[in-house]
Structure 1
Amino acid sequence: MNQSTDLLNAARAEALFTSPLSALGQPGPAEVTDAIRRSVRAHRGTRGCAIEVAGEYGDHPETAVPRMRWALQCIEAMHPRHRR
């Protein structure tokens, strides 16, 4: 996997993290894609999502860590890494 794909997946995970989608369920690809799209719009871009994530890690690290783990797992399931 190249660096640009890693950065894209990180941005996707941050957007999913900031979405209202529940981490308790198993959302499908369409739900995840829609949640990412809405979150990026709501936060005025991926930088806004990153700022929100940083704030949550600062204010609520005990819930931010498992939520980001969930977001990364969702993104990895949709966009698996191809190792060489």
Structure 2
Amino acid sequence: MISIVKDLAAEALFVSSIQPSECPTRKAVEQAVTAMLLLHGSDGCAAEVATEFGDHPEVAVRRMHWVNEELTGVVAPAHALT
């Protein structure tokens, strides 16, 4: 279940306006994820990610790498819950 939550959070952060150059705080990341999920829903976030990967794959790959780095520690890994 944690991997599903992390996937949803990654898609939501990906479509947010936060940029890596902002060096966002954990709170800013959490707020951006929440705002994008409320605005677009999970399906809408996934659709936006797919569009970006189709239109700008080279940029999308770099952004998704950054997104995953940002979410490390924000969404608890499964083994940390036991």
Give TM class, smaller chain: 0.7 to 0.9
Letter in 1 for 2:68: L
CA distance in 2, matches of 1:79, 1:42: 20
- Point out where structure 2 has 5 or more consecutive residues left out of the alignment: none
Moved more, 13-22 or 32-41: 32-41
Counterpart of 1:64 in structure 2: which amino acid?
A: A
Runs of 4+ in 1 over 3 A off after TM superposition: none
User: What is the number of residues matched between the two proteins?
Assistant: 80
In structure 1, C-alpha distance between the alignment counterparts of 2:18 and 2:46, rounded to whole Å: 17
Structure 1 counterpart of 2:56, which letter?
A: H
1:64 aligned residue: 60
- The Cα offsets for residues 22-53 of structure 1, whole Å up to 9 and x where unpaired, read as 1223211110011111111221x111000000
Q: Establish whether residue 30 from structure 1 lines up as the match of residue 24 from structure 2.
A: no
Q: Give me the identity figure in percent.
A: 36
- TM (norm. structure 2) is 0.87
Which structure has greater helix proportion? Answer: 2
Give the letter for the 2:11 counterpart: E
User: 3-state DSSP class of the match of 1:56?
Assistant: helix
CA RMSD, Structure 1 to Structure 2 (Å): 1.6
> Contact (CA 8 Å) 2:2, 2:76: kept in 1 or not?
no
Q: 1:16 aligned to 2:26?
A: no
Match of 2:47 in 1: 51
List runs of 5+ in structure 1 lacking aligned partners.
none
